Amino acid sequence: MSALKVFADTDPSEALLETDAHDEIAEVLEGIGVRFEQWQANAPIAAGDAPEKVLAAYQADIERLKKEEGYITVDVVSLNADHPDKVALRQKFLSEHTHGEDEVRFFVAGHGLFSLHVGKRVYEVLCEAGDLISVPAKTTHWFDMGPNPHFVAIRLFNNPEGWVAQYTGDEIASRFSRLEN
């Protein structure tokens, strides 16, 4: 189940807000410029389906976002507990960073934990299958896929180079929650 916890950035021990109500999550995140939606497939898909089939199942929503936001590149990424580089990949995403473009992820399957550092707050967003999150460019954040990742996600980019991070050097991410499977 999708969930949101909001903390003061100085105190990861006590949540200021906790909710698993999708409408409330979307409303709170909209207040900091983050898009949070739920999508439904227009055709059945199953684990192991080809990326083309996955993209086709969500084509209407993908095209809507491309038109609204100017995204030009779309792909499908899939990680599971057997991935040989899972430890290195997890570490790459766990440090606080920003991007020069929006970070847009739609979870087709599995889950992941986005933590957004905005102002003096940390917003931990547990994304599950069916959730789309769009983190605006220059928003400080980190992502945890857990020690045994399991997710299939559609990614949209307006930069043909794809995922490019600028790390802040701040250790804040090490003080907040981790996704433990």
CA triple 142-72-126, angle to 5 deg: 30
The pTM assigned to this predicted structure is: 0.94
Residue type, 33: G
> What pLDDT is recorded for position 159?
74
pLDDT number for residue 165: 84
Q: How far apart are CA 121 and CA 131, in angstroms?
A: 22
Evaluate whether 121 touches 176 at the Cβ level (below 8 Å). no
- Which pLDDT score, from 0 to 100, does residue 47 have? 74
Structure tokens at 90: 């997890």
Could you tell me the mean pLDDT of each successive run of 10 residues in the chain, 181 residues long? 97 98 98 97 86 96 96 92 92 93 95 97 98 97 95 88 82 94 63
Confidence (pLDDT) at 163: 66
| Structure confidence at residue 48 (pLDDT) | 80
Q: How far apart are CA 164 and CA 178, in angstroms?
A: 22
Alpha helices in the chain (DSSP H): 22-30, 51-57, 59-69, 86-94
CA distances from 168 to 58, 132, 141 (A): 34, 25, 10
Do 128 and 2 touch, CB atoms closer than 8 A?
Answer: yes
Ranges of each domain in the chain: 3-167
Q: What is the CATH number of domain 3-167?
A: 2.60.120.10
